Each structure stands twice: as structure tokens, then as C-alpha cells.
Amino acid sequence: MGFFDDLRDRIEATDSVVSVGLDADIDRIPEHLIDEDLPRWAFNRRIIDATHEHAAAFKPNAAFYEDEDGWRALRETIAYAHGKGVPVLLDAKRADIGNTTRKYADLLDDADAITVNPYMGRDSIQPFLAREDKGVFVLCRTSNPGGSDLQSLELDSGEPLYERVAALCALWNEHGNVGLVVGATGPDELEHLREQVPDLPFLVPGVGAQGGDAEAAVEFGLADGVGLVNSSRGIIFAGEDRGEDFDKAAGQAAKRLKKRLNQYR
């Protein structure tokens, strides 16, 4: 059983393709949690308890954990999510060469999947691809405004660079463990990429705070029913003004997004 087999089972069990992004920004965590030993872990535990029944996956972003206490909080978070039966996708966007990328791939000892950056070529992400039981989501067409600075550049073949990335990922998918990161803010590009690589599941960020197209995210993001649509701030900080009830608002936000996406599944 590989990651996408497990993800399919989780999607069916929860009737959900929602990925809850655990971007535990220490500056936005409720004040009553700041004095905890690991505030980010205390925050994430409450969020997981409130949202797990609606979550196909949890997606912590490594940027919010890259300090000593942060790594401890992240390990606790991953273990707790696993205890709830939810797979964890680490949004780390790693890649390098040689021993460096092999060490980066050790992050998969804890997480079930990871995001990687393909712009140094296959050898820079090969140690991730070689982990047959783990998911590897390759950055392809991102939702940030500056994504087109490089991703839309036209190659001599006439195709934009992001299309070449998608085609390469289809070739690299020898173990059936490769997906693409494709933003929800460009629905036409989502549709075109789905036609180009019909078998690769997408991780679709941008639904929620970034205002991405939920219908397109579901219609084109799933490959045979498998894929993830992520919301981070729109869920975990939905109760930012609710004090100790912040987690209830997060649970309600996750449930609403699940219902919204399921209209199009």
C-alpha cells in the first residue's frame, strides 16, 4: 500500500478531499496557549480534535516549525494526527543534490508525503521519489502572483515551463507516488494540466483565504477521485476572535469547506 492508496481509503472514510493546513503561526496562536510548553503543539492538538472527521489529510508547513521547539511540536503533531487515522503531508518544498537531498528525504521518516521543488532536476528529488510508500507532490503551477515569472516562460517547444514539469513528473511516476501542486486560482490551467496528466493526483492550494475556484479544484484536481484541496488560514484561524472556542470555529469551517467541495465531486 502506497500513500495514494491510503489517501483513497481516507477520502472514502471521511467523504472528504479537504486538506487542513496546520500553519501554526506563533503570532496568531490564542493567548491562553502561549504559556504551554509547546504552544504550536497545543494549538494543533485542538485543531486536529476539531477538524479530523472532515480532513482527508493534515498539511503542516515546515516554515512554521523550523526551530528547536518547533520541530518537537511538529513531531508531536504528526504522531497525534496518525493516532486519529489521518495522513500527514509535510509542505516543505525541499530539493537539493547529493547528501543534502538525501538528508532532506529523512523528513519522510515521520510524514506520509512531502512537497518538493523540481527546478534542480530529477536528481535533486530522486531520494524522495525512491520512497515508494510515500507521496511526493511536485511544485508545478503555484497560486502566488509571482508564479508566472518562471512557470509560464515559453520553451522552444512552444509549451510553458509548468507544462514541461507536469510531463516530466508523469515520467518520474515509476512507483505511483507522484502528484502535482497546482493552484486553484488558475482554473483554466488546472483543466489543461488534468488533460495532460490524467493519472496524477493534485494538491490544490488557494481555496479559502486566497479565493481560489472550489469547483475547478474538485473537477480537475482529482485523479480517479484522489487528490487534496487545501485550506490553511481559512480553517485554523476561523476562530481567531473566539478566544478559548477557537477550535469550534475551525471545526465548523472545515465542515463547511467539505460540504462546499462535495457539491462538485
In the block, cell 478559548 appears at 244
- Catalytic status, residue 103: no
d(CA 112, CA 56): 13
d(CA 115, CA 189) in angstroms, rounded, equals 20
- CA distances (Å), 6 to each of 2, 125, 208, 213, 242, in order? 6, 22, 25, 26, 35
Element (H, E) at 113: strand 113-116
Is-contact 46 247, C-beta < 8 A? yes
Q: In what order do the strands lie in the sheet with 57-60?
A: 57-60, 18-22, 228-231, 202-204, 178-182, 135-141, 113-116, 89-94
Catalytic residue from among 59, 93, 103, 134 = 93
Kindly give the interhelix angle for 187-196 and 214-221, rounded to the nearest 10 degrees. Answer: 0
Residues with catalytic annotation? Answer: 93
